[in-house]
Amino acid sequence: MRNIANALAAAQPESKDYFVSRAKAYQQELLALDEQTRTKFSAIPRDKRKIITNHDALSYYAAAYGITILSATGVSTEGQPTAQNIAALTDQIKQENIKALFIESMADPRQMETIARDTGARLGGTLYTDALSPPHGEAPTYLDMMKVNGERILAGVR
């Protein structure tokens, strides 16, 4: 944020104070959301903080909040999982009693729907990983995306 505010201030020096103050305010919003999210996740035992997604796009989020994320396709949204990958993931979901699967906003939902049906795990909703929602949707900004994803994941692991 600091780099963006500085670049904008360099382009419009007369608005420097505005850009710097907005960056600081936004940073405070992010820090407050982070603190709230940490508090909420800390109330859930670490071994219960396991979810399944289409692909591993949330590794930074998982590391920050102590969540284990499993996926059938790894980090790529392009690759298709093999039958062996799906079978291994299905077995792991059953063995570890993983309760929630999430569909990523830019992914085909059929794979997760099939895995949920085969394992009895529930679909926890859509997570925004590679794109925000449309402007009038539920996650049109980064801050909204983080709130929506956090609340959905929390609801899924409770």
Q: What is the pLDDT of residues 102-152, one digit of tens each?
A: 988 888 888 888 889 989 898 998 999 888 999 999 999 999 999 999 999
DSSP E strands in the chain: the ranges are: 50-53, 68-71, 100-104, 122-127
Q: Are 54 and 79 in contact (CB under 8 A)?
A: no
Residue ranges of the domains in the chain?
Answer: 1-43, 45-157
Alpha helices per DSSP H over 43-109:
59-65, 83-96
Assigned architecture for domain 45-157: 3-Layer(aba) Sandwich (3.40)
Q: Is the pLDDT of residue 75 over 50?
A: no
DSSP 116: H
Q: Give the position of tokens 């603190």.
A: 35
Q: What is the pLDDT of residues 1-51, one digit of tens each?
A: 889 998 999 999 999 999 999 999 999 999 999 999 999 999 999 999 999
What pLDDT shows up at residue 79?
60
